[in-house]
Chains A and B, each alone.
Chain A
Amino acid sequence: MPPAQTLPYIVPGMAKKLPLLAGFAKADITPREPKGMDLYGMPRPYPGARGILDRLHARACYLESGACKFLLIECDLVELPSRDYERIVESLARAGGLDKKNIWLCVTHCHSAPGGPAGGFQYKVLQRYLDRFASRVIAVGRRAMANRQRVKIGYGQGPIEGVGGNRRVKLSDGLVITGWADGPSPPPGVRIVDRGPVDRDVGVAVFKDRHDRPVGAIVNYSSHIHLYPILFFSAELAGAVAAAMERNWPGLVAVYTNGAEGNTSLCAHLPPQGTDCKAWNRQYRSGLKHLSAVVARKAAALYRRMEFESLVTMDLDETAMRIRSIPPRLPVKTVSALTINDLALVGEEDEAFVEYALAVKAGSPYRSTFVIGLKGPVNYYYFPTPARAEGGYETYLDLAPGSFERTTRAALSLLRSMRRERNRR
């Protein structure tokens, strides 16, 4: 009689840890015909682009552990073109054998980038760009999946100062103004109260190969990434941080992810007086260099303190809810979460206010929590209920009262249930 098979001993409360595979890739998505193209994120009316300040990229991170597969692609655009979104996701899901909901196709919210509706001769230029964009994104996703190798993961988060700030300023009559004069100015005598809150945390997850070389990183920070309007294509802070990290660690692909940035912007750095493009660009570059250096230095400091783990428990889940709004957004809003040991990535579809990131991080049962916003092709400003009463640029969506708070509770509930489920296994 053959001996009874002995099962591996599982300690109650400890889920089985498996090796982690990760693959990274990046692709250039800078327009080939930049002159005259519309800079989609710029205020109207705005002349077309005069050229390229720095290159735009799509960066992909593929993670696999056991049966769990996940793909994150961040594109240097202001929003994803809805034209090809389904086709791209479908193609990547087929290529990698992934569930479509485990593909997070996001943008860094780069305002100095192409996109949007275009008329006249611009229409054909934009259609050609979008064709090329779709094929590049599919290719970069496939390359990341093909590049996968066994890795160790380390992660952490910590505060930085002087990079992002809340762009909504409260006044003594209860209303709010924003940094670029989107509405009627306050009358004389109205006092400025204060700016809103800010999420100072930079989150970094680094993946090292078997030779202990960093091969990829995910960087997370909640802020709009443009300094001021320019007439050139630029990857803005996302590109500058990724470039700084890739210089520090040759061979690394840094995937910059934007967080809950709906009401936050980069601090200071006004353009120079006058209309000299070169002076504007010089100051822009110098501003980005300074800000990206702060983020990169923090990333390096966090890296030095990281403990790397080669075996992980990786879980993916999502929750969906109906949110009523005018104009109507998508029928359901989904919040997704990926957890790897004590790291949680929370995927959010919209440009949520920073209060979302602060609440989720404060209530999260994981040591490090990154909120990754701007997932998918339709992104609205998503704000707490009191913000609509205060007014301001971002509050045009007539959300049912309590929607934002429901989403925050749903995200926390999702994280807690994933933690409980893991502890139970």
Chain B
Amino acid sequence: MNQGLVAQCRRLLFDGTRHPDPLVRCEAARLAGGLKDPGAVPYLVRMLQHDRWYSKITAVYALEAIGDRRGVRVLRETAKNPRVFDFPGMYNHDMIRIAAAKALAVRHDPSGIRNISDLLHIKNLEAFIHLGPAILRLPDTKQTRPLKECVNFKFLQRRSQDCPSGILARIVQALPFFKTRRSLCRIKENLRHFSPFVRAAASSSLLAYRDCPGHGRMLAGLLKNEKAPFTRLKLASLLYKRDSRPACLATIVGLLNNRDYFVRATAIDALAETGRPLLAEKVMPFLNDGHFYTRICAVETLVKLKDRTAERNVRALLHDPHPRVRLLAACYFTAISGDREYRSA
């Protein structure tokens, strides 16, 4: 692999964190986190200072993944006082603070869990969904025990009644961490929610709660009757990862040529989750797909499947008209060069 090309690709990723479009900046941050590239840390810290909330969150996740001490220092400051980096009166500051605190909690960093009990006491939904599970996974110590007691299922249960689909899906994603019968009941209730995205989240949460034959059979039954392509893909992907059913793989492959670009892209992502390198040939045609998002998913799948045969096709995408596709192509070359391994969160 040409080292000059790899250096050029790294530069492209770093410059992506300063692109005028915040969605491109988010993509660059996410990929830098996936590559765990310490060279991206100064750029990610800058994103925390001057950016929109979803860019800041992505930058926090990337710093968490990279784990560099400069990044951890910034995360500590953000967990203590997000107003260092935020605009007053605009966003939910606690959201950034919670993301930073969670990043430190996941690393078992003591400063991440000191002084955050106030976040749990103010009954912030964000804290219960993201920080709560991280705290529940911490080892039992004198410091963590009072925090774990604050994190309870009742608050989530109350908030999950009559809430919009977006909030409900996030609550359902957090439920597996609360190993109670009530949280299991709530997951099962949402397997039949009107929103296909909530159903998908509930299916994933069911197996995350407990991966047992009964739950597997339940999801197989749901897959038989499910009509929404997105949920079919998620169910098929979960069941294939569990026990490699050929019918599930056939379901995924069958949806690759769906008219809707989002379904095609989700099917391509599902192929990446199978982890089977031989499936890379099915993804290749989508490098020339008409929609940029499908091209992005195709490149990222090839990165995850560690396929080197697509090198020539992906090289052409370094000049793709869409900046996010170019970033993915840059990520591909950085990942397959052997310097960095790509692992999305």
Chain A residues proximal to chain B, CB less than 8 Å: 43, 46, 169-170, 172-177, 179-181, 183-189, 191-195, 228-229, 268, 270-271, 273, 275, 388-392, 395-396
Contact = CB atoms under 8 A, between A and B. Distances in A.
A392 B23 contact: no
A266 B224 CA distance: 44
Contacts of B293: 193-194
A14 to B, nearest CB: 43
B130 A187 contact: yes
Contacts of A46: 89
B338 interface: no
Given A188-B64, A390-B197, A181 B91 contact: yes
22 contacts: A46-B89, A170-B262, A173-B197, A174-B262, A175-B166, A175-B169, A175-B170, A183-B125, A183-B164, A184-B125, A184-B126, A184-B129, A184-B166, A184-B171, A185-B130, A186-B57, A188-B64, A188-B345, A268-B20, A271-B87, A391-B168, A391-B169
A184 B54 CA distance: 11
A177 B54 contact: yes
Given A169-B54, A185-B57, A388 B90 contact: no
Contacts of A177: 54, 166
A175 B197 contact: yes
A390 B196 CA distance: 9
B344 interface: yes
Given A185-B99, A188-B345, A271-B90, A388 B195 contact: yes
Nearest to B62: A188
Contacts of B90: 180, 228-229, 271
Nearest to B61: A188
Given A187-B130, A192-B26, A389-B196, A173 B87 contact: no
A42 to B, nearest CB: 8
Interface in B245-284: 262, 265-266, 269
B30 interface: yes
A192 B57 contact: no
Contacts of A179: 52
A339 B203 CA distance: 51
Given A229-B90, A390-B165, A390-B195, 13 more contacts: A173-B169, A175-B165, A180-B91, A183-B125, A185-B126, A187-B130, A193-B262, A195-B23, A388-B164, A388-B195, A389-B196, A391-B165, A392-B166
A188 B100 CA distance: 12
Interface string B41-65: 0000000011011100100010011
A184 B167 contact: yes
A309 B239 CA distance: 67
A33 to B, nearest CB: 23
Contacts of B197: 173-175, 389-391
Interface of B: 20, 23, 26-27, 30, 33, 49-50, 52-54, 57, 61, 64-65, 87-92, 95, 99, 125-126, 129-130, 164-171, 173, 194-198, 200-201, 230, 262, 265-266, 269, 293, 296, 300, 344-345
A389 B53 contact: no
A395 B262 CA distance: 21
A271 B126 CA distance: 25
Contacts of A229: 89-90
Contacts, number: 124
Contacts of B26: 192
A173 B201 contact: yes
8 A-B pairs with least C-beta separation: A391-B166, A188-B345, A189-B345, A174-B197, A389-B195, A184-B170, A391-B165, A188-B61
Contact of A181 (B64, B92, B164, B194): B92
Nearest to B193: A389
A183 B170 contact: yes
B200 A392 contact: no
Contacts of B130: 184-185, 187
A174 B95 contact: no
Nearest to A273: B87
A406 B265 CA distance: 30
Contacts of A175: 165-166, 169-170, 197
Given A185-B130, A193-B262, A395-B164, A174 B200 contact: yes
Contact of A183 (B167, B265, B345): B167
Nearest to B30: A191
Nearest to A188: B345
Nearest to A271: B87
Contacts of B20: 268
A390 B166 contact: yes
B47 to A, nearest CB: 13
B166 A270 contact: no
Nearest to B195: A389
Given A187-B130, A390-B165, A192 B195 contact: no
Contacts of B262: 170, 174, 193
B257 to A, nearest CB: 19
B91 A172 contact: no
B88 A275 contact: yes
A391 B126 CA distance: 16
A391 B167 contact: yes
B144 to A, nearest CB: 21
Contacts of A395: 164-166
A304 B118 CA distance: 61
Most buried by B among A43, A179, A193: A193
B95 A388 contact: no
B23 A270 contact: no
A341 B330 CA distance: 55
Most central of A186, A229, A392, A396 by chain B CB within 10 Å: A186
Nearest to B57: A185
A396 B165 CA distance: 9
A355 to B, nearest CB: 16
A192 B165 CA distance: 18
Nearest to A326: B162
A167 B91 CA distance: 15
B269 A172 contact: yes
B252 to A, nearest CB: 15
